Structure 1
């Protein structure tokens, strides 16, 4: 599989899993934050919609706070587009988070780096 396809697959996988994490699904929760963040580079960094800068460690610390907190959460990815080289991929996509009452839309850009057969999240920029 080419790097662009792998990166797209990773966005889809992570969004499905983070939705399961928010809902508190047993299999996803059992894997813990390490399982959820398995394809994140140790150098991962992001800019949240509010402009806050976060690291992988910040994300790891936040994850237990939201485990099972939104039992009806659905996370949908649309409009995924991208470009890839032999070692990197850049994707843009829209992420829609809906808990049945409220909807949160994030417009995201993500940079991935190749690590063996995997594409690892390196940078993520989200805006509302």
Structure 2
């Protein structure tokens, strides 16, 4: 497993803890993102880093029992300053249907830091 794949796993562990239990510091989580981060949500909405930060703050502790599974990770491309990783996320909340999405993430490597630069999520069939 490369460092980019490990970053996908590590961030989703933090998101799960934040959304399920309001544990951790959102500011620490946001340090994993490039200042020019952008995202396309499964709904087609486009988000900036500031909008993502607002989402993290809004959802902190709002989904008790949430678990997030990451599977089917694949390196689509890798070069000296970054990579593109595709993976599937499965969100489970007790007494609700699970939701799956396929995500493609663009990472940049700045020194030793792996930063999320762009994320595109699509609902999985």
Please classify the TM superposition score into its range, dividing by the shorter chain length: over 0.9
The 5 A counterparts of 1:3-42 are: 5-26=2-23, 28=24, 31=25, 33-42=26-35
Task: Count matched residues.
Answer: 121
3-state SS, counterpart of residue 22 of structure 1: helix
Question: Structure 1 stretches of 5 or more lacking a match?
Answer: none
The 5 A counterparts of 1:86-125 are: 86-100=80-94, 101-125=96-120
Contact 1:45 1:56 in 2 (8 A): yes
**CA–CA distance in structure 2, aligned partners of residues 62 and 49 of structure 1:** 14
RMSD: 1.2
Contact 1:110 1:123 in 2 (8 A): yes
Structure 1 runs, 4 residues or longer, greater than 2 Å off = none
When normalised by structure 2's length, the TM-score is 0.92
**CA–CA distance in structure 2, aligned partners of residues 64 and 112 of structure 1:** 23
Q: CA deviation at 1:37?
A: 1.6
Question: Structure 2 stretches of 5 or more lacking a match?
Answer: none
**CA–CA distance in structure 2, aligned partners of residues 13 and 50 of structure 1:** 24
Shift in CA distance, 25/57, structure 1 to aligned 2, threshold 3 Å: closer
Contact 1:6 1:118 in 2 (8 A): no
